[in-house]
Amino acid sequence: MIAIIEYNAGNITSVARALHAIGQDFVITDDTKMLNAASHAIFPGVGAAGEAMAYLKGKKLDTWLKYCFQSGKPILGICLGTQIILNQSEENDTYSIGLVAGVTKRFPENLQAAGKALKIPHMGWNSVTLKHHHPVFAGVDPAAEYYFVHSYYPSPEDDEAVLGTTDYGMTFCSVLAVRNLIAMQFHPEKSGRPGLQILKNFCAWRGK
């Protein structure tokens, strides 16, 4: 059983629909007993880092996520769920969960490409360049594009944690992977067939 972590951060419905589309059983919960019983945890979300962390701390889900990471249970972070697994976020100057050392940063205001100013947030379709193979991306076309909508991006301290990068006026970490954790700034649940393949692969992954 796959658990989607509920923490009032939005986008839960889209993830649930995507799992339903691939025929995967799941539960949406903030109950740690139910989360413990699940084989995998998906940590999605959209919204503000400060509000999300307040809810997580109130439900002690930040502590549970640390336990989950240490236990070896496969974890998938999506969008906000990728940003707040680092130590700190520049959004609301928020101290985050700290599963991976690093800071979530805001895009600079002066981003440009081909001499033209780029809008913030980064919104729309873009590609990901993987540094090496990962089981969660097995069978996915390297040229695939994914749906992004964000003003902040993860910046891990250790370059080894960076699995994939994306260009948007600068090169930023769009996928990070550490042991049983994989997290992506884009939305696989909104990225068509490539995104569904990623979700299917994650559900079959054993975290190694």
pLDDT tens for each residue of the chain, 208 residues long? 999 999 988 789 999 999 999 999 999 999 999 999 999 999 999 989 999 999 999 999 999 999 999 999 999 999 999 999 999 999 999 999 999 999 999 999 989 988 889 999 999 999 999 999 999 999 999 999 999 999 999 999 999 999 999 999 999 999 999 999 999 999 999 999 999 999 999 999 999 8
Which residue among the candidates 6, 173, 189, 203 is catalytic per the annotation?
Answer: 189
Judge whether 162 and 131 are in contact, CB under 8 Å.
Answer: yes
CA distances from 138 to 69, 173, 197, 201, 203 (A): 22, 19, 8, 7, 12
From the number of C-beta atoms within 10 Å of its C-beta (0-12, 13-18, 19+), residue 171 rates as exposed
Q: Give residue 9's pLDDT.
A: 84
Amino acid in the structure at residue 56: L
Q: What is the pTM of this model?
A: 0.97
Q: Give residue 35's pLDDT.
A: 96
The CA distance from 13 to 143, in Å, is 27
Which residue among the candidates 68, 79, 173, 203 is catalytic per the annotation?
Answer: 79
Respond yes or no: is residue 133 known to be catalytic.
no
Task: Tell me the two tokens of residue 51.
Answer: 């509000």
| CATH superfamily membership of 2-204 | Class I glutamine amidotransferase (GATase) domain (3.40.50.880)
Respond yes or no: is residue 109 known to be catalytic.
no
Q: Give residue 115's pLDDT.
A: 85
Respond yes or no: is residue 203 known to be catalytic.
no
Task: Tell me the two tokens of residue 118.
Answer: 């780029």
Strand 75-78, strand 181-184: pairing: parallel
Chain-centre distance of CA 190, in angstroms?
Answer: 13
Q: Give residue 11's pLDDT.
A: 81
Instruction: Say how many CA atoms lie within 13 Å of 99 toward its Cβ.
Output: 31
Amino acid in the structure at residue 71: S
Of 107, 105, 85, whose CA–CA distance to 93 is shortest? 105
Q: Give residue 30's pLDDT.
A: 95
Of 203, 206, 182, 172, whose CA–CA distance to 20 is shortest? 203
Rg (CA), the chain: 16
Q: What share of the chain is helix, strand, coil (3-state, %, to 5)?
A: 30, 35, 35
| DSSP assignments along 106-128, one per residue | EPPTT-EETTEEPPSSEEEEEE-
Chain-centre distance of CA 10, in angstroms?
Answer: 13
Judge whether 203 and 40 are in contact, CB under 8 Å.
Answer: yes
Domain ranges of the chain: 2-204
Which residue among the candidates 40, 122, 150, 187 is catalytic per the annotation?
Answer: 187
